[in-house]
A = this chain, B = another copy of it.
Amino acid sequence: MTTDAATDGRPPLPGRRGPDGGHTPHPTGTAADVLARYLHQQATEFLRALRLHGDSGHGTGTAAEDSAEAVRLLRGAARRVAGALQVFRPLTEVPWTDQFRTELGWLTETLGREYACAARLARLRGALHRLSGASADGGPGSAPAVGAARAGALLERQLTLARTRAHSAALQALGSARFHAVADAVAVLSTDPPLDPAAHDLPAHEALPLLAEQTHRLLLEAAGTLPLSVAGLPYNAEGLSHGLAGPGAPAAEGRQDAPWHHVRLLVRLRRYAQEVLDEQHRTEVEPALTIRLLSAGQTLDRHRDAAEAASYAAAAARTPRIAPATAYALGVLHADQRHEVEAARFAFGRIWQRMAVPR
């Protein structure tokens, strides 16, 4: 396995000036110590969230809020564990951790769907409210106002249904043998992290920054493929460029959005990698970088949210037998959210300019 990891994932280790610049005393500890510490923390968080979720009783009102918060914490911990295992993969027991990451992915995806539906609905509701100009002097009864109200009701119905289904699926998942295996594995992670024996010999300050840097390079490469020069021109009309395209319209928008979604995941991965480095130094090593990663990530979250909201609006417009006024409102809503997509890209471009500067 050590050999595997070395040929397979671990990069050659050329001399590198770490983030400590070589002039602060090296923190003691091996790569294994630091990783184990980070994984232990996240595993503890995961198990705590799980208990919280059990206590919440999945009810309504406060209980539902507690349950939602527990799921949020649980997903965050699961993503961080998976992220750390991915970035520092060469230091782990690779076949086991690869499979474990797949399971963590299944879990976060299954648990997240319910909240994604709720978030989409809240976003679309907010957009409809804004477009209906609550502060304007328009009253009810006109075609656009009726259309907006009907579109809102339609989206409410469809997304609530989707949310209920996702909720059932999540509850089912949490009761499944598959989930219990994941929880058991997380418990093991907490006490006996699946690390490669070599990790116990490598000084943390040599191995960890190098692998984080590798993720950073992946991020830079992926962001390098984004059409940032177009996105940097305000009102470039790219967001809506497939708005009324043929049968491939949703697919075309999806293809246009995909590289941005990919960069979003890499930004998050890079942020988790930084958390491990921070753990190594027991302090925030590069606060400016951390903040930029956070705001880049938030911008790309907004990009994803708007893109999904736009596609829900377009899908709702394909509901049979809706009134023209409803369809019109959904068209306006779709276009509005695609412009939010474009706005998020523009904002990301601004943040990225500062990020891509060599550190």
Contacts and interface: CB of A to CB of B under 8 A. Distances in A.
A246 B327 contact: no
Contacts of A249: 133, 136, 138, 142, 144-145
Interface stretch (A18-26, A63-71, A219-227, A315-323): A315-323
B252 A137 contact: yes
Given A318-B143, A336-B335, A131 B244 contact: yes
Q: Which of A128, A141, A237, A326 has the most CB of B within 10 A?
A: A237
A328 B317 contact: yes
Interface string A318-359: 100011111111111111100110110010000000000000
A32 interface: no
A336 B245 contact: no
Given A248-B138, A342-B235, A240 B132 contact: no
Contact of A332 (B130, B138, B335): B335
A133 to B, nearest CB: 4
A247 to B, nearest CB: 4
B131 A246 contact: no
Contacts of A324: 317, 322-324, 326-327
Interface residues of A, number: 54
A154 B278 CA distance: 61
Interface in A119-170: 128, 130-133, 136-145, 147-148
Contacts of A325: 317, 327
A229 to B, nearest CB: 15
A334 B334 CA distance: 11
Contacts of A11: none
A234 B327 CA distance: 28
A324 B330 CA distance: 10
A172 interface: no
A252 to B, nearest CB: 5
Contacts of A138: 242, 245-249, 252
Nearest to A320: B324
Contact of A234 (B237, B330, B334, B343): B343
B332 A133 contact: no
A246 B325 CA distance: 12
A104 interface: no
A323 to B, nearest CB: 7
11 contacts: A131-B245, A136-B245, A136-B252, A138-B246, A138-B247, A147-B244, A148-B244, A235-B339, A328-B328, A332-B334, A335-B336
Interface of A: 128, 130-133, 136-145, 147-148, 234-235, 237, 240-249, 252, 314, 317-318, 322-336, 339-340, 342-343, 346
Given A140-B246, A145-B245, A335-B335, 20 more contacts: A131-B244, A133-B242, A136-B241, A136-B245, A136-B246, A137-B252, A138-B245, A138-B247, A139-B248, A142-B246, A144-B245, A145-B249, A234-B235, A235-B342, A237-B336, A326-B327, A327-B328, A328-B331, A328-B334, A331-B335
